[in-house]
């Protein structure tokens, strides 16, 4: 929905809104926002303005397959300036699965992570100072991993 991007813009930050789903990008555009369809696994992530200062991927990379997340995290590191920040959140747990709960009624695929495994993926991809907090879900018993890291 773009609520985090709106807040960042209100704080004076410049934000590039992206989503892999054309329907979500269309909704953002209908609200008057610039937005790009972007697949972090295959598309060019670079900004024409130079390296990003940070990546904010709140509850979006949880849809990336386990085998693909190391590549995605490394590709993000390649377009963030040294010392830049990474912030992601994923569901805590084991395995993967489909869900229809929450505010979106269409089935969505989730990959669940444990903190140690996620921290290893991020550190191996070129990030340092990896920190993970455990957060309870708002609407159900889900547990989330909130990860922050610094680009090496």
User: Which residue stretches of 3-112 are H helix?
Assistant: 3-10, 22-30, 69-78
> pLDDT for 94-147, tens place per residue?
999 887 655 556 777 889 999 999 999 999 999 999 999 998 877 666 899 999
Residue-level pLDDT at 72: 98
80-91 sheet: strands from edge to edge? 52-58, 80-91, 143-151, 127-136
DSSP class of residue 122 equals: H
Q: Are 114 and 107 in contact (CB under 8 A)?
A: no
Q: Determine the topology of domain 52-151 in CATH.
A: Rossmann fold (3.40.50)
Quick one: average pLDDT of 58-83? 96
Task: Give the Cα-Cα-Cα angle 109, 112, 113 (nearest 5 degrees).
Answer: 150
The residue extents of the domains of the chain are 1-38, 52-151
> pLDDT for 1-32, tens place per residue?
688 999 999 999 999 999 998 998 999 999 99
Residue-level pLDDT at 103: 55
Residue-level pLDDT at 119: 98
Residue 48 pLDDT > 90, yes or no? no
DSSP class of residue 12 equals: T
> What Rg do the C-alpha atoms of the chain give, in angstroms?
15
């Amino acid at each position: 929905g773009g609520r985090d991007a709106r807040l960042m813009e209100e704080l004076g930050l410049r934000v590039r809104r992206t989503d892999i789903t054309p329907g979500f990008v269309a909704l953002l555009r209908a609200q008057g926002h610039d937005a790009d369809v972007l697949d972090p696994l295959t598309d060019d992530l670079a900004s024409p303005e130079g390296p990003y200062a940070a990546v904010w991927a709140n509850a979006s990379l949880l849809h990336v397959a386990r085998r693909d997340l190391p590549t995605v995290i490394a590709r993000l590191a390649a377009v963030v300036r040294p010392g830049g920040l990474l912030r992601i959140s994923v569901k805590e747990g084991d395995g993967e699965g489909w869900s229809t709960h929450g505010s979106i009624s269409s089935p969505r695929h989730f990959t669940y992570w444990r903190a140690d495994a996620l921290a290893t993926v991020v550190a191996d991809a070129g990030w340092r100072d990896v920190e993970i907090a455990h957060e309870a879900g708002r609407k159900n018993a889900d547990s989330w991993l909130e990860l922050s890291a610094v680009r090496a």
